[in-house]
Structure 1
């Protein structure tokens, strides 16, 4: 493999695989009618989805990630910008890296699990989210919460149009179809609770299994099952209280 001249089917960062699980409509958690999560072990569909991802995102024969053997001289962004990649799987914020590229690219959603899946899903990166922490001895948490909520509301009102309507849709997108694809992506955002909180290191475990193309998905997740459930239940009880 020559990472400076070879062409690749997919260019992505190494955690793109576990992010793609959301697009396949699978979760390690189970949700009731009120969307309250619980953990009783992963399903066969989840395991099958992991296997699908291993065959694509983590096959070094045609996928270039920063975990690819010998991959050290260029990153996935540069490989795609140089015209040596068919697909570039990244967060929407990475579009700015292609603005000056001569590559004529379009935007598409990640695929569904199968034709029975109702709609396309777009994973919101759990590693790119941020939050505002409030100290435990805050004298007026209600007031602080109100201020933060209003700041978020104004951000949605002022920043979202500037970022989405102007920057993403017209500065970084090159055709009308790509704009329509962005609409689909942002209308179907999915945030995986298990990966945000990383209960029992489940996010790290899944990611490492995918990168290693391991056959031990079921047994590895079963081994951390009790701690995943314990930490999840503790968070849910706090939210309910």
Structure 2
């Protein structure tokens, strides 16, 4: 592990934490109910998924769009020094409690790294680099410190920097600002819509028709793209877009993606 954690999930270095620590309910995303701390019925003894190549057809679509941002291997190999949760109940309980905290820290690291890369030298960039270092130090903390961490308070402080970055990058892209933060756009008819530089932070875009929409440099942090139709949409330069958001959506070869993200296999 480097000084700054790897933000790409490495399931081979994790003890299947997302398959045990997190709860889920029978729904369109999961075929069965599962309590937090209860191993998924599909988790094998080697910490691998028994139906990994058939998750969608078996009703576990939610698993295919989940991203821990590397928190799984950080908790498994660094925080707990390679100790498997199967070794003793005390380790299991602490590890399962730490994992959601680490996942939030790693998600923040992902966003702050992008923000710092988008801002030229200046006060904001220095503040972002400071937030990056501070968050990385927190991620390297002992289990006890992580469990006592006010992660919500830390997120709030970092989010202010992300907001400032978003406003700076999107400034001047539109004559009139498009503020749709947290908007309910489920099933919205947005085919061909001009959404350049729009603020869509946390917007509900479930099953929205975004075919051919222009989403260049839109702020998409936390936007829900489940079953959204992105065929032909242009996402060039989209702010804070993650692979899991794309994995949850529908698209095709005409969807224009940022260079840093991959076209989902199911498209």
TM-score normalised by the chain length of structure 1 = 0.27
TM-score normalised by the chain length of structure 2 = 0.25
Hey, which of these two has a bigger chunk of helix by percent? 1
